[in-house]
Amino acid sequence: MRRVVETPDMGIVMPDGCRLSARVWMPEDAGDTPVPAVLEYLPYRKRDGTTARDELSHPWMAARGYAMVRVDMRGSGDSEGLMADEYTQQELDDAVSVINWLAEQPWCNGNVGMQGISWGGFNSLQVAAMQPAPLKAIITLCSTVDRYADDIHYKGGCLLNENFGWGSTMWAYSSRAPDPELRENWREIWLDRLKNEPFLVAEWLQHQHRDAYWKHGSVCEDYSAIKAKVLAVGGWGDAYKNTVPALVANVGANGIVGPWVHKYPHFAVPEPRIGFLQEAQRWWDKWLKGHETGVESDAPYRAYVMDGLRPKPWYDVRPGRWTARHGPATDHAKMGFGAGGTLGKATLFEGLVASPAHCGLASGEYCAIWLGPELPGDQRGDDAFSACFTGAALQDDLEIIGAPKVTLKLASDKPQGQVCVRLNHIHPDGASARITYGVLNLSHRKSHEHPEPMVPGQVEEIVLTLDHIAYKVPKGHRLSVAVSSAYWPLVWPAPEAAELTLTGGGLDLPLSPAGQGDECSFEPADSAPPWQVEELRAGANTRKFEHDMVSGVVSLIIEDDFGKRRDSDHGLVSGACARERWSIHPDDPLSARAETHWTEETEREGLSLRTETYATMTSDAQNFYLTGRLEAYENDALIYERDVAENLPRNML
């Protein structure tokens, strides 16, 4: 191991003069023996935002001969400038400038890697497609290749409520000041940010179809542009389940998918965790140092097949096994829908789907991340509001590895509607666990770029590809397909409550022979020592439903207190609380209402900075209505306030 030195605020100046701030860990002797550099590039604040995970990861890798460079993007954290949106060309151009700058430093051997999870995973792929010469390899985690179809904005052409939820999160995140200890002009930078901070939820809602806005940064538009070597990592508890198989198939990536939520896999849950840092070192040692580490002999697709468990909204551990393959299963079983709600042999039937607007309460979070009860729970309540097709008890264990497809023959009585399909695991006592799912805005059945309304009463055949999964259903249990016309609060409802008439359909299931034991292995999880902090307020998560018996309104209420802490090294205090409320009347899709309120706290001795951000969203049949409010306080005195309001027309959404 090499002794590591840390630089908390290394300046990297962009071509236009904007100074970005980097926190850097590197071997003490890198000036004498240069090392590769690995960039992680985010808007989430290296000083107090991603510090917990940075401390676990970057010093560990630096001790093994790398310069680990964690950069605050323009307009965030301790960097100068303003941030206008996610994945702008300015953001990507800055990243290329940083990579070229790193390669030229005397402590760098000229080879650069890039890694990141979520935003950092997205921009790692996007920057790789720009082909900066020093960038030899990337590690992308929990990311997407298609910003329209597989991000937090839209799914199957339906508006994800996470579009509003994450827009509200960024409204809060971007409102924070730099650390006053690092920037003498911190107040000037802060006020400039507050005055120019975009209300991103409105920006994203202006692009309701897959237009040029979403094609920008969607690497699926041209996979061949990615020349760097790609290691792609994901989790079955995460929102981005389809990316790893897509990159394995189209870029020749190495892929790993575990049972995890939206976290790095050396500290993710549900367990088992893996030695991700050791895997990353193998990757970097091969492609940045030229050492033979065996990564080229790894199976391209290493996926964790989860044992089917009783449904609950959180698991600490998911039993299962690791499979090593060239990709998802290539064998398929086809099962038809039949009269009486059967799944097996296709027979003639006619069924009505007219779900109440609150169908979907067991969906869980779109992207489980905060470690509360965010996973999908028992589906029986939602099944009661759905048309269900259930198979016979299985004669043998069944492993599903891939993306199931469901075909539906249906007619709608309205030109606009949506359909949700869930593949469920039915236990002998009737408990229903969601295996995977898909949603579709029926006007997007042919194209996300050029949608067309349904012709009321006209039967059409549509195909939904459900999210990728690796899951074992035990012998004696059953499979069921549930079809609903609403999925709240995961997706915003259609403007009218459509009734769907089903007259046919079936399930195409990617199967693999049930295996025994692990086909590959990983080293145990390892890390550097954890972030040293003084806890000032413990964190807590609350998620509950409320049914107002007078009004009939059903609400999901979420409160996430992220706690408050003081950094034991430099003394910065940070804390945050998030509050969400999602309300709807079962009989009225136009009653849907979303509300958020975030508090962000930053403190130093004698100085207390706080922002309060609020947002609401409602709609009628023609328009979406958005409001936002931003308040900034210095030592409890209001120093800035701004209100925004946007009315945006619905366009077949």
Give the 3-state DSSP-derived string for 240-261, with helices as H, strands as E and coil as C.
Answer: CCCHHHHHHHHHCCEEEEECCC
Nearest to residue 490, comparing CAs of 163, 144, 118, 143? 163
Per residue in 163-208, pLDDT tens? 999 999 999 999 999 999 999 999 999 999 999 999 999 999 999 9
Q: Which two tokens stand for residue 540?
A: 């807590």
Q: Which two tokens stand for residue 422?
A: 């869930």
* 110-126 average pLDDT score: 98
Tell me what pLDDT residue 195 has: 98
**CA gyration radius, the chain:** 25
Query: 459: part of which helix (H) or strand (E)?
Result: none
Tell me what pLDDT residue 372 has: 80
CATH 3.40.50.1820 domain locations along the chain: 1-147+223-292
With cut-offs at 50, 70 and 90, classify the pLDDT of residue 370. confident
Tell me what pLDDT residue 213 has: 98
What's the helix, strand, coil split of the chain in %, to 5? 15, 40, 45
With cut-offs at 50, 70 and 90, classify the pLDDT of residue 502. very high
Per residue in 386-413, pLDDT tens? 999 999 999 999 999 999 999 999 999 9
Nearest to residue 88, comparing CAs of 195, 227, 203? 203
Nearest to residue 53, comparing CAs of 262, 213, 197? 262
Tell me what pLDDT residue 371 has: 78
> Does 513 score more than 90 pLDDT?
no
With cut-offs at 50, 70 and 90, classify the pLDDT of residue 515. confident
Per residue in 455-500, pLDDT tens? 999 999 999 999 999 999 999 999 999 999 999 999 999 999 999 9
- Show the 3-state SS of 252-295: CCEEEEECCCCCCCCCCCCECCCCHHHHHHHHHHHHHHCCCCCH
CATH 2.60.120.260 domain locations along the chain: 331-512
Neighbouring-strand partners of residue 473: 398
Specify the fold of 331-512.
Jelly Rolls (2.60.120)
Q: Under a CB-based contact definition with an 8 Å cutoff, are residues 266 and 116 in contact?
A: no
Per residue in 563-593, pLDDT tens? 999 999 999 999 999 999 999 999 999 999 9
Q: Which two tokens stand for residue 594?
A: 């979303």
> Does 150 score more than 90 pLDDT?
yes
Q: Under a CB-based contact definition with an 8 Å cutoff, are residues 239 and 264 in contact?
A: no
* 37-54 average pLDDT score: 97
Dist. CA 458–CA 442, nearest whole Å? 12
Nearest to residue 418, comparing CAs of 504, 480, 488? 488
Dist. CA 537–CA 464, nearest whole Å? 45
pLDDT averaged over every residue in the chain? 97
Q: Which two tokens stand for residue 104?
A: 């030229």
* 408-430 average pLDDT score: 98
Dist. CA 81–CA 52, nearest whole Å? 25
Dist. CA 48–CA 540, nearest whole Å? 19
User: 505 Cβ partners below 8 Å, 6+ apart?
Assistant: 336, 337, 389, 406, 407, 408, 409, 410, 483
Neighbouring-strand partners of residue 430: none
Nearest to residue 142, comparing CAs of 220, 38, 255, 250? 255
Q: How many helices (H) and strands (E) does the chain have?
A: 10, 32
Q: Under a CB-based contact definition with an 8 Å cutoff, are residues 27 and 62 in contact?
A: yes
* Whole-structure pTM value: 0.97
Dist. CA 609–CA 308, nearest whole Å? 47
Q: Which two tokens stand for residue 186?
A: 């911190």
Strand ranges for 513-622 from DSSP E: 533-537, 540-547, 554-567, 573-585, 588-604, 607-619
Of all residues in the chain, the percent with pLDDT exceeding 90 is 98
Specify the fold of 1-147+223-292.
Rossmann fold (3.40.50)
Q: Which two tokens stand for residue 351?
A: 């069924």
> Does 514 score more than 90 pLDDT?
no
User: 243 Cβ partners below 8 Å, 6+ apart?
Assistant: 140, 142, 143, 144, 145, 150, 232, 234
Dist. CA 116–CA 322, nearest whole Å? 24
